[in-house]
Structure 1
Amino acid sequence: MSAPTAVESVVNVGADLLADAAAGQAVDVTRVDWQPPMAGTAADLATVAGDPRRAAANERALAAVLEVTATLVDVVPASEALGLEAGEFLHAGPPIAWDRASGPLRGALMGGAALEGLVDDPEDAVALFESGSSVSLEPCHHRSAVGPMAGVVTPSMWMWVLEDAATGRRTYCSLNEGLGKVLRYGAYGPEVLERLRWMSDVLGPLLQTAVRAVRDESGPVDVTGILTQMLQMGDEAHNRNRAGTLMLLRDLSPALVGAGDPGDIAQALRFVGGNDHFFLNLAMPACKLALDAARGTEGSTMVVAMARNGTDFGIQTAGTGDEWFTGPAQLADGLFLGDYGPEDANPDIGDSAITETAGIGGFAMATAPAIVRFVGGSVPDALATTRRMHEITLGENPRWSVPVLEFQGTPTGIDVAKVCRTSVLPQINTGMAGRVAGVGQVGAGLVTPPAEIFPKALARLAELAENQSKGVGGAA
């Protein structure tokens, strides 16, 4: 009888019991991070896997996203860009009414009402929204727009206008106010309203003049191209936009000079140059423009929107039309400003997770290891996050590459089926708003969507696949 062969290495999948025992005997152990599919999804996963449309549909959806080039073509008031009228308010995330609105969303709406002259004091707006008789709330996404944090847009606010060079489709986003006590974080004090009025009266018109001049003289600013460069310069285009902001200033500053009063121009340049997040409001609509190209792709399981209103977290997929799949927004885990702590933070809020949906932001943390000083975690965590997101995506974006990972493209095209099969949730890095209206920003951190929204979307996709196989109904 031959002697037993010594075990030199072990590959362990799942629970660590065997791995720990082997390691204790000086055996080389490779641990595979594996989890079973999400509970209750087996039948729907099988149905979706058997949908003959799925593979080709996902290929078309991803290709459509990757083909989009977002260009900056204009800056105009929301009343002109979106047709917003007095009393109409846009907000981030899936649909919600005032009675369920979070503190920061309420604070932003109150400040927006005062900005538009609907009330003299923001505090007086509570009764206005409670009555609902002369105001309406609608998601930014429903108007081809996105808004960071509370995402409140009112008619007088100025909007970036981005256009796909090939199709002429457009998306929109407001101008970035900066960090701290700002409207999008739910603050509405006098300094907040004063800043917003200056942005409407001075900054917006100056940017319009500059953007139009650049567009007419040398062609519109290539926002997708800036994103490509900034990812190789240490930005991830969600919570770090320093290089992107400076490149935007490079492109617009020559046209800004001479666009108006020298004092106003100097103030505008100081404002933009001192706000590292200024480019975020261009990155977001660029991502939405790309993802909207995949909407309506029957049979596709790709996510085209992730958005939060501070109460609910919602996703939409390419194959389910405009239907939202929602669950409770989660509290971020991260770093806090000053004396603030977890008890002061509101659950996750904002449309800015459109960046992760498109493959940047939290999905591209490996491009911006310095981001961990703002949102928490470590440099190895940042690298591991980008690698892990490849497990739940349909492909890579060759234009948006990660130098430290041998210029591998960012993981792009979140697949509902892969999320349910692996139990790996999309990673988002985000700012944190105070839970009480009027407070403003309290920190920044990392968060994931509520797990239950992906099985909900999968169930609907499975239902559509079954209907298709039976020749019943059509796409959502």
Structure 2
Amino acid sequence: MSDPLGGLLAAPPSIVAAGVEVFSTALRQQGVSVTDVDWRPPGFGSPEDLAQLALDPRRAAANRAAVERVLAAGSVLVDVRPAREVLDLPDRTLLHSGPPLTWEKASGPMRGALMGAAIFEGWATDPDDAERVLAAGEITLDPCHHHRTVGPMAGVTSPSMWMWCLEDPASGGQAWCNLNEGLGKVLRMGAFNEEVQTRLAWMRDVLGPVLQQAVRSRPEPLDVKAILAQMLQMGDEGHNRNRAGSLMALRELSPSVVAVDAPSSDIAEVLRFIGGNEHFYLNLGMPTAKLAMDAARGVPGSTLVTVMARNGTEFGIQTAGTGDRWFTGPANTPVGLFLGDYGPEDANPDIGDSAIMETYGVGGFSMAAAPAIVRFVGGSVPDALATTERMYQLTLTENPAMQIPIMGFRGSPTGIDVLKVARTGWLPQINTGMAGRVAGTGQVGAGLVQPPQQCFEQALAALAEESRAAG
């Protein structure tokens, strides 16, 4: 009888490894012969645009200046206030994640979150009424990023929601984010039922006021950036895994919370809510990253990416050298693990401002710091290590404040470079949650996703055009 494998197993395997060295190094340590091949995806962009940016005499100094601002930025928690006070929102305005969006183009989870917020604010009486007023244009929609604000998933922020207020001691910059609702059926995932409305009302009437008193009574502002740095050394990556960060935030805030002049039942419920919310820190980490990336805005000649954000329909990026201009493409659907009986057909395309974490160099860029994350988003531990190795090749520097233990305490890969992305053909890696595509569903899973290449193609062309104009 002939060998069905054609003698494949008759001799030791011959292994050819492509990409980062972590795989071939591990095999060699086990005495396996490995041949390395320097392969990578094809690059993109016109040769003229690539040459224009590569030879721009401003680029090195501009990127150095932008990176220095990012690394120097700090983040301290100074207050908790309602959105109507800090954002100066026009009447009947809702903020949302990602680039600009209209109701007609909004996805299911975005529509669900907008409808839920309209009901929460009393601008609509029920879901049908909310859909009517939104479709009629009676409520203005504007991106969170246009207001120095970030919001996870749908990111919908309304005037009555309480906001974390953070400042950068280095530049004086400010950034804001609403409070995290927890997991499951929540507004940010597009749910809007009675359970969601009851929680939002409690957060408005109890959680926000208690946190405001607690934060204001602290002897000194909470150093949120320091917590993020510690998280990476405790198994978190700062986007989809925030367990250590949330516990550290609870430890820092709880002495002030218990001293708040409020009913003991309210204090107990606030502590239970924070302690049971593994993503409590995320809404502090996101404005921390926003502060750092905003510090790099407006540097002519810089090819550094300052924003990556998604609204459930489109993915958008901004760069230091092109200011507030958006470069967009269709949002991809994450690939990962699903909750319960949900599957790929239930997932909405990528959504949320939380990709600001990867823009800053944590989250998917620092997966090596949190190998346990693969149990939540899929993949394997070697995948997590290889992803971080690959992200170093897309970035301009390493952040010494954000050290990754398993990488020999190397700083996280920071400062996505449009030119490097175009040259390598590799796209940034993002860890993300998945919202159900049907409004009202809530979370269906978590996974991994990349931006559409079109965003970087557009940014590359715009940066080259700006370079030519600068002469």
For normalisation by structure 1, the TM-score amounts to 0.92
Opposite residue 266 of structure 1, the aligned amino acid is A
- Which of 162, 183, 194 does residue 158 from structure 1 map onto? 162
- Which of 285, 288, 291 does residue 287 from structure 2 map onto? 285
Aligned to 1:472: none
Aligned to 2:451: 449
Aligned to 1:458: 460
1:140-176 Cα distance to aligned partner (Å, 9 max, x none): 0000000000000000000000001122210000000
- Which of 207, 210, 214 does residue 211 from structure 2 map onto? 207
Unaligned runs of 5+ in 2: 1-13, 20-31
Give SS of 1:295's match.
Answer: coil
Aligned to 1:30: 36
CA contact (8 A) 1:41 1:455 kept: no
Structure 1 pair 206–12 and aligned structure 2 pair: CA distance change class (3 A): closer
Question: Aligned ranges for residues 38-437 of structure 1 at < 5 Å?
Answer: 38=44, 40-132=45-137, 134-214=138-218, 217=219, 219-259=220-260, 260-437=262-439
| Structure 1 vs Structure 2 CA RMSD | 1.5
Residue correspondences, number: 445
Measure the CA separation in 2 of the matches of 1:414 and 1:41.
20
Measure the CA separation in 2 of the matches of 1:123 and 1:271.
31
Question: Cα distance, 1:33 vs. partner?
Answer: 3.1
Structure 1 pair 368–104 and aligned structure 2 pair: CA distance change class (3 A): same
Measure the CA separation in 2 of the matches of 1:157 and 1:13.
49
For normalisation by structure 2, the TM-score amounts to 0.93
Aligned to 1:473: none
Measure the CA separation in 2 of the matches of 1:49 and 1:107.
45
Aligned to 1:17: none
Per mean C-alpha deviation after superposition, the further-off stretch among 412-421 and 252-261 is 252-261
Give SS of 1:161's match.
Answer: strand
Structure 1 pair 153–28 and aligned structure 2 pair: CA distance change class (3 A): closer
Question: Cα distance, 1:43 vs. partner?
Answer: 1.6
Measure the CA separation in 1 of the matches of 2:289 and 2:275.
23
Give SS of 1:452's match.
Answer: helix
Structure 1 pair 28–101 and aligned structure 2 pair: CA distance change class (3 A): closer
Opposite residue 405 of structure 2, the aligned amino acid is P
Unaligned runs of 5+ in 1: 1-8, 15-25, 470-476
Measure the CA separation in 2 of the matches of 1:318 and 1:389.
19
Measure the CA separation in 2 of the matches of 1:91 and 1:35.
34
Question: Cα distance, 1:34 vs. partner?
Answer: 2.0
Measure the CA separation in 1 of the matches of 2:255 and 2:350.
38
Question: Cα distance, 1:123 vs. partner?
Answer: 2.6
Identity of aligned residues (%): 63
Measure the CA separation in 2 of the matches of 1:345 and 1:36.
29
Give SS of 1:211's match.
Answer: helix
Measure the CA separation in 1 of the matches of 2:433 and 2:214.
30
Measure the CA separation in 2 of the matches of 1:166 and 1:323.
25
Question: Cα distance, 1:289 vs. partner?
Answer: 0.3
Give SS of 2:422's match.
Answer: helix
CA contact (8 A) 2:17 2:34 kept: no
CA contact (8 A) 1:162 1:171 kept: yes
Question: Cα distance, 1:27 vs. partner?
Answer: 7.4
Structure 1 pair 10–251 and aligned structure 2 pair: CA distance change class (3 A): closer
Opposite residue 129 of structure 1, the aligned amino acid is L
Give SS of 2:453's match.
Answer: coil
CA contact (8 A) 1:93 1:309 kept: yes
Aligned to 2:29: none
Question: Cα distance, 1:84 vs. partner?
Answer: 1.9
Opposite residue 42 of structure 2, the aligned amino acid is P
Question: Cα distance, 1:28 vs. partner?
Answer: 4.5
Per mean C-alpha deviation after superposition, the further-off stretch among 164-173 and 421-430 is 164-173
